Structure 1
Amino acid sequence: MEKIQYELEIPVHASPNMLYQYISSPSNLQEWFADKVNARGKVFSFVWEGTEELADLITKKSGERIRWKWQESEGDESFFEIKIQVDPLTKDVSLIITDFAEDEDEVEEAKQLWENQIDELKHTIGA
C-alpha cells in the first residue's frame, strides 16, 4: 500500500546550530523526541513507552538536515526528515518535518504528534 507523504513547517526561535544538535545527537533527541535514543553506527534505536523502533540514518547534512528510514518500512519509499530552514530575508528559523502516514485518516493524527514533539523541543531549549 502506498503511504501518504506530508510536510509540516514549524517556526522555532533558536539558532540553527543549536537546533541541529537537538535533531542529530541521540542524547539530545532523547530530551524531546523519544524516551530513549541510542545510535550504533547508522542505526538509531528509538524507544517510546518500552517499545523499540529501529531506523537507519540515510542522510545527515551538518547544520541543515537529518533523514532516517524505519527498518520496518523497508519495502517502500517512506522516510522521516527534520530539516532546518532559515528565511534569507527575515532570518526566521523553521523546522520542516517530512514524514509518511499509512492513510489520509492518519495524516492529521501524525501531524498533531509532530507538533506535540516540536512543542516539547521548544520547551526543552527555551525557544
Structure 2
Amino acid sequence: MSKQLYTLEFPVRCSPSILYEFLSTPAGLGEWFAEKVDERDNIFYFGWNGSFDKAEVLESEENSFIRFRWLEAPQNEYFEFGIEKSEITNQTILVVKDFAEKKDIKDQALLWDHQVKDLFHRLGN
C-alpha cells in the first residue's frame, strides 16, 4: 500500500524569520521536534530516546520552506515545513506536509498537532 501526501495548517503568531529558525536549524528543531538534533553535510540527525533517525535536506528557501527526506524512506516521500502569509488576515501560517498510509493519517495528524503545540509553546503562542 502506498503512502499519500497530506497537509496540515497551523496559524502562528510570530514572524516568518523567527519561525524559520525553529524549522531549519539544529538548535531550533531541538527545542520542539526531537530531544537532540545535529547536522553535518546537509544531513540532520534527530534523536529520540537514545536512537537517531537521519534526514537529508532536499530543498529549502529561507523564511519560506524546508523539505526533508528520511534516509530510509522512498525517494518520493518527504516531510516539509512551509511558511505562508494569509492574504486576508496577514497572519503567518505553518504548513506541514507529510506522507502516511491513508488509515494512519488521522493518527499522524494528531502527532503533528502535539509537536506543533510544543513549538508554539516555545514561541510564546
TM-score by length of 1: 0.94
Root-mean-square deviation over aligned CA pairs: 1.0
Whole-angstrom CA distance in 2 between matches of 1:56 and 1:108:
26
Give the aligned partner of residue 115 of structure 1.
Answer: 113
CA contact (8 A) 2:3 2:102 kept: no
Give the aligned partner of residue 88 of structure 1.
Answer: 87
- The amino acid of 1:126's aligned partner reads G
Give the aligned partner of residue 104 of structure 1.
Answer: 102
- The amino acid of 1:84's aligned partner reads I
Tell me the secondary structure at the aligned position of residue 84 of structure 1: strand
- The amino acid of 1:109's aligned partner reads D
Matches within 5 A, 1:1-127: 1-73=1-73, 75-101=74-100, 103-127=101-125
State the number of aligned residues: 125
Alignment deviations for residues 61-81 of structure 1 (CA, whole Å, 9 cap, x no partner): 0011000000001x3411000
Whole-angstrom CA distance in 1 between matches of 2:76 and 2:112:
20
Whole-angstrom CA distance in 2 between matches of 1:44 and 1:126:
25
Whole-angstrom CA distance in 1 between matches of 2:63 and 2:98:
20
Percent of aligned positions that are identical: 35
After TM superposition, give the deviation of residue 3 of structure 1 in Å. 1.0
Whole-angstrom CA distance in 2 between matches of 1:54 and 1:96:
22
- The amino acid of 1:8's aligned partner reads L
After TM superposition, give the deviation of residue 11 of structure 1 in Å. 0.7
After TM superposition, give the deviation of residue 96 of structure 1 in Å. 0.5
Q: Kindly report structure 1 stretches of 4+ aligned residues shifted beyond 2 Å.
A: none
